[in-house]
Homo-oligomer: A and B are copies of this chain.
């Protein structure tokens, strides 16, 4: 079983966390989706945390987890915090193959979507 973890920073503002939950549900609906499940996880301020989510994946019988960082830029969370949490989880669950995907902000499409956003003024 392959599980995709959509990892967001997390916010003290519950609506922001719910946006991430909603996004993970949208992603789960794609036909081109090769994952058996898409789940949200949060670095801070919300649950499940990354270790909690990975523990849950293991309990569900996953053999592969892809961690997808929903971050705009490659700061300390991308360079250090997420890899460190994933490394710890890998030691706890040695049978789980955990991969970290590139961060969202690395995508080339972003400039084009930003321009569309600028032109769609309400």
Contact = CB atoms under 8 A, between A and B. Distances in A.
A30 B114 CA distance: 11
A111 B30 CA distance: 9
Contacts of A26: 111
Interface string A1-29: 00010101001010110011001001100
Given A73-B11, A74-B15, A74-B16, A113 B107 contact: yes
Contacts of A110: 23, 104, 113
**A interface secondary structure, majority:** mixed
Interface residues of A, number: 47
Contact of A99 (B8, B30, B109, B121): B121
A84 interface: no
Contact of A101 (B70, B101, B111, B121): B121
Contacts of A8: 72
A36 interface: no
A121 B66 contact: yes
Contacts of A23: 110-111, 114
A93 to B, nearest CB: 19
